[in-house]
């Protein structure tokens, strides 16, 4: 089954991964930092802990007999977040480098290896 071409990206890669600490660059959550809980490369989106929260009404179920409301994170576009530099704590771009025969991500601002 071919994938749709409208709005699709031929390169399904993101500059952030699950577990990375990121900072939001734009939008109403600008400046907030959090950990990436989920990366969705096909949609170019990420879910960040504590950012873009919504209140969802939950029906009572066997696991949650009370039901009620719960806070949940929504995905936001990956271009709105940047990796946090481990040295300065500010937003940084990344560069891929080969260190000891392994391809690693390096912070452009400080030159520190991220993974």
**pLDDT tens digits, one per residue of 51-105:** 999 999 999 999 989 999 999 999 999 999 999 998 899 999 999 999 899 999 9
Q: Are residues 109 and 67 in the same domain?
A: no
Domain for residue 2, yes or no?
A: no
Structure letter (DSSP) for residue 42: T
Q: How many C-beta atoms lie closer than 10 Å to residue 89's C-beta?
A: 11
Does the pLDDT of residue 5 top 90, yes or no?
A: no
103, 95 contact by CB (below 8 A): no
Q: Are residues 79 and 101 in the same domain?
A: no
Q: How many C-beta atoms lie closer than 10 Å to residue 34's C-beta?
A: 21
- pLDDT digits 0-9 by tens, 6-54: 565 567 889 999 999 999 999 999 999 999 999 999 999 999 999 999 9
56, 48 contact by CB (below 8 A): no
Q: Are residues 80 and 27 in the same domain?
A: yes
Q: Which domain holds residue 39?
A: 8-84
**46 vs 14: CA distance, rounded Å:** 9
Count how many domains the chain has.
2
Domain for residue 60, yes or no?
A: yes
For residue 88, how far is the Cα from the chain centroid? 19
Q: Are residues 80 and 93 in the same domain?
A: no
Domain for residue 28, yes or no?
A: yes
Q: CATH code at 59? A: 2.30.30.30
User: Which pLDDT belongs to residue 11?
Assistant: 76
């Amino acid at each position: 089954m071919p994938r749709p071409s409208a709005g699709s990206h031929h390169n399904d890669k993101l500059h952030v991964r699950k577990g990375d600490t990121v900072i939001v660059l734009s939008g109403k959550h600008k400046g907030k930092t959090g950990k990436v809980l989920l990366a969705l490369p096909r949609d170019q989106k990420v879910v960040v802990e504590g950012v873009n929260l919504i209140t969802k009404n939950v029906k009572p179920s066997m696991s949650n007999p009370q039901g009620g409301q719960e806070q949940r994170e929504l995905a936001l576009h990956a271009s709105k977040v940047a990796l946090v530099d481990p040295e300065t704590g500010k937003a940084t771009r990344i560069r891929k480098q080969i260190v000891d025969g392994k391809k690693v991500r390096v912070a452009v601002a400080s030159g520190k290896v991220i993974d």
